[in-house]
Amino acid sequence: MALSNSKKSFLLYNDQIDIINELTDEQAGTLMKMVYRYSGGESPDEIIDPTIKLTFIMLKSQIDRDKEKYDLQCKKNKENAIKRWEKRNATASDRMPPDAKYADTDNDNVTDTVTDNVTDTDFKDSQPEKRILVYKSGSDTESWG
């Protein structure tokens, strides 16, 4: 059974390298061509070499398991999206936005005010002078009170 070509990729795992390394370069090349054909939706050619056949069966089984897992995740994602679209008593933030381009329209301006009391005692003869420093983030101005 060949896979449908709705998915544009497949996984090869590092723990499979020991098996691949046992093949000759010619066998590995033939195997990879067959794996790509299979994952692209084509039926693989008849395999004559028993080593390539066994290795292909192992890789094919893993590709099939990964495809089933992928299809199941797609189905769950689709069901969740439908649930959110069909939610009746939802606020605007609960529903999916109709256009993702305009999904984040809130204003992220933040204003902080910091007040600090500073006592100036540099001069021994004069009275200590109290100043209040007010700094507002988002502006380059400081005010002294």
* pTM assigned to the model: 0.52
pLDDT (average), residues 69-80: 91
- CA dist list (Å): 38 to 16, 43, 51, 80, 81: 18, 6, 18, 31, 31
Where do the structural domains in the chain lie, given as residue ranges?
Answer: 1-103, 113-144
pLDDT of residue 32 exceeding 60: yes
Whether 138 contacts 110, CB under 8 Å: yes
Q: Cα separation of 62 and 20, whole Å? A: 14
pLDDT of residue 142 exceeding 80: no
pLDDT (average), residues 89-106: 60
Instruction: Render pLDDT for 41-72 as a digit per residue (tens, 0 to 9).
Output: 888 778 889 999 999 999 999 999 999 999 99
pLDDT at 46: 84
Q: Cα separation of 71 and 23, whole Å? A: 32
pLDDT of residue 73 exceeding 60: yes
Confidence of residue 7 (pLDDT cuts 50, 70, 90): confident
Confidence of residue 6 (pLDDT cuts 50, 70, 90): low
**Mean model confidence pLDDT for the chain:** 76
pLDDT (average), residues 19-44: 92
pLDDT (average), residues 77-100: 70
pLDDT at 99: 62
Whether 56 contacts 47, CB under 8 Å: yes
